[in-house]
Structure 1
């Protein structure tokens, strides 16, 4: 506690232990403020025997928690720094990931390079390695640099895995005529039946 002489009174200021150090983490600062506040509120509650007094303390604690959380969030936003991506370091790291994936693929029979079941675990490790490297350096994932490198890896190992094009062939003329005439005849028959039943109903009426 530090005291100073004012114009009329002596002004004393209490510095909570642990809060005078710079800087502190958000969670640590919030815990320290809450702990010391609850410590003082506890002694006030010892002399608080009415419902109105307890409600006042409850509202005070709620207001205090909201105030501290909002203030610390504002501090976080003020200290937020934009991410700077070091593309040179990122390229070095993803090349390490690619080298490891190439070593793993060399242990797979080239005839099975188009069968994902033979190397799905290795490919998953490669993908996770690029993601972790990008985030560790401070880059977003995915990003154009990583995508271009992955495309190069795909061209190296999976360029011959293209699916053969499907050639669509028209059915024979007989089958085509049958497919066209069947719905036409069914529509004509249904129209005749509806007209016949309607005319018969009018005659019986």
Structure 2
């Protein structure tokens, strides 16, 4: 596993970081602060290699973990959170190793592919409870409301008897 992650460094050579650290700072005043993939160390991103290695390393690992989970449980977040978290960490590590900005378009496409392969049949939102019939709501509202005047009358009547 470590060899596969180090392979791009061995093939492409060591990624050279800029020696001037102060030029590697991005301030919010700069209107392009959200376009980090075009800045600094991320300009040496090999997106083709990122796509290949994400499939080779992260996809295979996630796929083997998902095979161990019953297909009917793929929509249960409690069942898939660990493999999904491992997939996210794998992609993030791989992206950083290859000198790419995380997240980027390759990573986004990769996760779309994952979701279309494994989670396409899952409902987008949890099912909401249906509204109760109006007769039930009316009955459950009127009973306590009608008891209030009766209880007030009993308290006043009891206090008059005690005096």
Determine the structure 2 residue equivalent to 1:165.
Answer: 127
Determine the structure 1 residue equivalent to 2:108.
Answer: 147
Q: What's the CA shift for 1:87?
A: 5.6
Whole-Å separation in 2 of the counterparts to 1:191 and 1:118: 54
Whole-Å separation in 2 of the counterparts to 1:127 and 1:78: 30
Determine the structure 1 residue equivalent to 2:41.
Answer: 83
Q: What's the CA shift for 1:112?
A: 4.5
Residue from 75, 78, 93 that aligns with 1:132: 93
Whole-Å separation in 2 of the counterparts to 1:161 and 1:138: 34
- Structure 1 residues 155 and 84: CA distance shift in structure 2, 3 A: same
Whole-Å separation in 1 of the counterparts to 2:142 and 2:57: 62
**TM-score when normalising by structure 1:** 0.44
Cα pair 2:62 2:83 within 8 Å, conserved:
no
Q: What's the CA shift for 1:132?
A: 0.5
- Structure 1 residues 170 and 87: CA distance shift in structure 2, 3 A: farther
Q: Write the deviation string for residues 21-46 of structure 1: whole angstroms up to 9, x where unpaired.
A: xxxxxxxxxxxxxxxxxxxxxxxxxx
Whole-Å separation in 2 of the counterparts to 1:77 and 1:109: 46
Cα pair 2:42 2:101 within 8 Å, conserved:
no
**TM-score when normalising by structure 2:** 0.52
**Structure possessing the higher relative contact order (Cα contacts under 8 Å, 6 or more residues apart):** 2
Cα pair 2:50 2:95 within 8 Å, conserved:
yes
Cα pair 1:84 1:139 within 8 Å, conserved:
yes
CA RMSD of aligned residues (A): 4.1
Cα pair 2:42 2:99 within 8 Å, conserved:
yes
State the structure with more CA Rg. Answer: 1
Cα pair 1:112 1:118 within 8 Å, conserved:
no
Q: What's the CA shift for 1:183?
A: 1.6
Q: How many residues align?
A: 127
Whole-Å separation in 1 of the counterparts to 2:127 and 2:78: 23
Q: What's the CA shift for 1:117?
A: 7.1
Cα pair 1:84 1:138 within 8 Å, conserved:
yes
Matches within 5 A, 1:22-33: none
Whole-Å separation in 1 of the counterparts to 2:63 and 2:138: 59
Determine the structure 2 residue equivalent to 1:23.
Answer: none
